[in-house]
Amino acid sequence: MKIKLGVVYVLVLIVLIAGLQACKQKQVKSVPTDSFNAGRATFVADESFSPIVAQEEYVYRSRYPNADPVFIYKTENQAVNMLLNDSVRLAVLSRTLDTAERNIITRRTLSVEVVPFAVDAITLIVNKSSNDTAITVAQLKKELKGQGNGNKTIVFDNPNSSLVRYLKDFSGNKEFKQKNIYALKSNIEVIKYVSEHPDALGIIGFSWINNPEKEYADYVEKVKVVGVRDEGNKQYPNEYFKPSQESLVLKQYPLSRSLYLINCSSKNGLATGFVTFLASDVGQRIILKSGLLPDSIPPREIILKK
């Protein structure tokens, strides 16, 4: 009987020791999987800016082969939610966080670093067969409010996008319920739709049309960019401008938005490494080549020959 009790005690002791070891393992802090320019980390980017983010990622990977940044492309609303839910700690957005959103992150003892890196142009496109080549800011606002003649079908990307938020703020119309206004699924679908419909007015980000990928380049060939005049611009009240780096830097083109990196990692990991790269001379030159306006315009070297 004593032998049996001894065996039971030994078994109980083994179970207790195993339990304590498991608890200790849970308490051990996870080892970081990334460093400044190496390792793997997941980030989120507004899908509206996937062309420029993909270009930056490609060059970053080529310069730092041990770095493995994984970008998830979402709508603006989804991207912000991922940041607030601590699913990711770096986001590429066209807005900063408001006070309530910042508080959610700082309550986790994390800091919020906001780095502007580019300026995008909201671009209006029509079918190449269309006679429309220009529009005023006032006319565009009327169309978005449903106060226009309704002859144009207005299309843009999905309802939860940063572009739709911009257009709502721009027009003062909180809901686009007009029959001639449609939200599609992506910028590519907008370009395709406009290329096939002579009565359509498409609204997209500039990077989608300035240097298109092969998969939709044929659609781009069938559309043209509309000039925009801002009657409220004191310097250029009577002139129409198309989006370009020059018209953005001179503040001639009225439909623009800043792009930001929101870094909540609070460490010198891969998020900080990517932010540093994008803000560097090399990262800003990639922005310059894309057609967007870099936040910091890289200097040009001029060699004078005797």
Domain count, the chain: 2
pLDDT of residue 258: 97
Alpha helices in 172-280 (DSSP H): 187-196, 207-210, 214-220, 245-249, 270-279
pLDDT of residue 178: 83
Residue 23 within a domain: no
pLDDT of residue 293: 97
Residue 216 within a domain: yes
Please give the chain's pLDDT, 306 residues, in tens.
545 545 445 444 554 455 545 544 443 344 457 889 999 999 999 999 999 999 999 999 999 999 999 999 999 999 999 999 999 999 999 999 999 999 999 999 999 999 999 999 999 999 999 999 999 999 999 999 988 777 889 999 988 899 999 999 999 988 888 888 999 999 999 999 999 999 999 999 999 998 899 999 999 999 999 999 999 999 999 999 999 999 999 999 999 999 999 999 999 999 999 999 999 999 999 999 999 999 988 766 545 555
**Residues 275, 182: one domain?**
no
Token output for 266: 């609070």
pLDDT of residue 10: 45
Domain around 70: 34-119+259-294
Q: What's 85's domain CATH number?
A: 3.40.190.10
The neighbour count for residue 209, using CB atoms within 10 Å, is 25
Instruction: Output the pTM of the full model.
Output: 0.84
**Residues 115, 226: one domain?**
no
**Residues 175, 227: one domain?**
yes
pLDDT of residue 279: 96
Closest residue by Cα to residue 272 from 49, 110, 84: 110
Whole-number Å distance between alpha carbons of 243 and 252: 9
Q: 91 with 80: CB under 8 angstroms?
A: yes
**Residues 161, 207: one domain?**
yes
**Residues 110, 196: one domain?**
no
pLDDT of residue 306: 52
Residue 21 within a domain: no
Distance from the Cα of residue 177 to its chain's centroid: 26
Residue 187 within a domain: yes
Residue 5 within a domain: no
The neighbour count for residue 182, using CB atoms within 10 Å, is 15
